[in-house]
Amino acid sequence: MIFLTVISSILIASVSIIQFRNEAREYHQERLERKETAIKENINYILKNTTYPLTTENIPLIFSERDKIHELSDIHSLEINFYDLKGKLLKSSKSSFAIDDDPKSIPDYIIRLVQSSMDKRFVEVKQINGIKNLSSFSEIKDLQFKPLAILNLPYIEDDGYYERELRKFMIRFGQVYAFMLLLSVVLAYFLSSFITKSIKTISDKITETQLNKKNEKIELETSSREIGLLVEAYNNMVDKLEESAVKLAQSEREQAWREMAKQVAHEVKNPLTPMRLTVQSFQRKFDEQDPNIKQKLDDYTKTLLQQIDIMSSVANAFSNFASMPAQQNERINVVEVVQLGLEIFNENYIQFESTEKEIFMLMDRTQLIRIITNLVKNATQAITEENQNPSVLLSVSKENSNVIIEVKDNGIGILENNKTQIFEPKFTTKNSGMGLGLGIIKKIIENYNGTITFESAQNIGTTFTVTFPLNTNE
């Protein structure tokens, strides 16, 4: 409403100004024509009653008699000039001292325009000192309608009256439209408040709508049909939202149990594999006559008991709904524990090296073994049977206040498209397994403020690097 009021006021004001100026221009043109017609009638009357022969040369004598040219000029309040047919000044109503010694002649193009026009008349328009000047040129004819002279009537447009009228009109117009603008602002405010009251209520309800709580329906006493449809749609959405929230909560609970079951299965399966490998290795290498049989039996028993402890910790953690397995930090020698984690593997191409004999830190022994077991197992699985020189190198080093564990293989590598998903749960490129291993050990490493990174090139190999900050002072 405000926009329409302002635009309409601007348009009306513009049209009014244009109309006033057009009327002023038409008024001056019509006034000049009326005066020119009246002056010509007086000139014709004088030509009929003069005693001088009607020739161009006698024009100054005819209108000098009894000062007739000045009389006509005073009556019509216009300057009157007579020119011969070649444009030379013959007689003027100006005072003699006001006429130049060498008065200007009519330009040739004006004479041609006068002679070529139908009514033998031409009006020249000029701007002099910012004032619009009209100058009428027309032929004077004798009693036989032959051209006798050219009549020139200079006319200055005085727009003072129209300017004053326009100014008064614009003042009154501005007062009226200022009142209308104020009125439109007030009406627009109350009208928009009334219209948008229902929409504001709906907007507030939509803003407060949440999935995890009970949402109230909208109840409006009076509203338009369109608002009523919108309210009805919102209330239907609230009903469907409550149904969806119930289904979502149920689905989330089921998904949580499924994920926990998968994780427990993975954690239980993780120690079973090295246990199976240890039993097979002991069975294959068992020799009653071996003088070191007792030591080997002790190592075999120690390895089985260690994996059984891991399974026990997983079961205890699951029963308590805690993180699996629960951390039991102790001061361990990283080099020794890593070597212990390699004992379950029988591949002769697995190598170990360390820059230090002892590197101590506070950590859960079983979780470090789980990290080593998972990384080395993935490295051996990445080596295909076609590889003539398989190699898996596990190295431990100390740099500044960090311990660095690297597992490097010359396997098939990781595809570029899979690099961003390698640590995501349930992602795997193998035919077996659930894809939880790397995700779980990454979480374990991060719990100790460590990091795990990798570099891989297809058909060249992969290097996983685990970094732990040393915390022996804790």
pLDDT, average across residues 233-258: 75
Number of other CB atoms surrounding residue 159 within 10 Å: 17
Put simply, whether the predicted model's pTM sits higher than 0.75 gets the answer: no
pLDDT above 70 covers a percentage of the chain that reads 85
The model's confidence at residue 320, banded by pLDDT at 50, 70 and 90, is very low
Domain boundary among 106, 141, 163: 163
Full strand arrangement of the beta sheet holding 131-141? 89-92, 81-83, 147-156, 131-141, 121-128
**Contact residues for 427 (Cβ-Cβ < 8 A; gap 6+):** 418, 421, 435, 439
Domain boundary among 125, 142, 163: 163
- Is 299 part of a structural domain of the chain? no
- Is 277 part of a structural domain of the chain? no
pLDDT, average across residues 65-93: 84
Can you name the residues that pair with 120 across neighbouring β-strands? none
- Is 442 part of a structural domain of the chain? yes
Owning domain of residue 363: 327-474
> What pLDDT, on the 0 to 100 scale, is given for residue 99?
47
Q: Mind listing the pLDDT tens digit for each residue in 149-172?
A: 898 888 887 766 667 777 888 888
> What pLDDT, on the 0 to 100 scale, is given for residue 333?
93
User: What is the radius of gyration, based on Cα positions, of the chain?
Assistant: 56
Query: CATH number for the domain including 45?
Result: 3.30.450.20
pLDDT above 90 covers a percentage of the chain that reads 14
- Is 171 part of a structural domain of the chain? no
Closest residue by Cα to residue 324 from 449, 451, 440: 440
Domain boundary among 129, 163, 197: 163
- Is 267 part of a structural domain of the chain? no
- Is 184 part of a structural domain of the chain? no
Average pLDDT across the chain, whole number: 80
Domain count of the chain?
2
The model's confidence at residue 436, banded by pLDDT at 50, 70 and 90, is low
Q: Which two tokens stand for residue 316?
A: 């205890």
- Is 117 part of a structural domain of the chain? yes
The model's confidence at residue 98, banded by pLDDT at 50, 70 and 90, is very low
- Is 387 part of a structural domain of the chain? yes
Can you name the residues that pair with 333 across neighbouring β-strands? 360
Can you name the residues that pair with 395 across neighbouring β-strands? 353, 406
> What pLDDT, on the 0 to 100 scale, is given for residue 319?
53
Q: Mind listing the pLDDT tens digit for each residue in 266-284?
A: 767 677 777 777 777 777 7
For the ranges 5-19, 188-202, 315-329, which has the lowest average pLDDT?
315-329
